[in-house]
Amino acid sequence: MVLPRFTEGTYIMSAQPKKKPAPTPDLPATTEEIAPSVRPAPAIEDVPVKIAAVLGKTRIDVAKLKSLGDGAVIELNRKVGEPIDLYVNDRLIARGELVLADGVLGVTMTEIVRDDDL
């Protein structure tokens, strides 16, 4: 092997010839350039959710349920004035008060329920 001479007393040895680095391709600027047929998911605001306001709960036998008639009162586990539970997709998220506005029932949220509160 012949060693190239750069200056007196300095030599560089290489078993393989130097390669030029591979050219880096230009990266696409937009998702349309990456996958033109892929469409973005709908905005989170457009996803429907199920909301339930629970006034209270109780358990009764089927026989008693069958015997109920018009005007029957079913006693719940809550008293008048106690907060009601507000569920989103079957998950308790808040408590609030029942309100009547323009002849329509609604809920005013008074407390946000956190996971560590459950």
pLDDT tens digits along 31-78: 555 555 666 666 788 889 999 999 999 999 999 999 999 999 999 999
What are the residue boundaries of the structural domains of the chain, listed by start? 47-118
Res 116: pLDDT: 72
Q: How far is it, in rounded angstroms, from Cα 112 to Cα 79?
A: 20
CATH superfamily of 47-118: SpoA-like (2.30.330.10)
pLDDT tens digits along 68-116: 999 999 999 999 889 999 999 999 999 999 999 899 999 999 999 987 7
Q: What's this model's pTM, rounded to 2 decimal places?
A: 0.55
Nearest to 97, CA basis, from 118, 116, 72, 80: 80
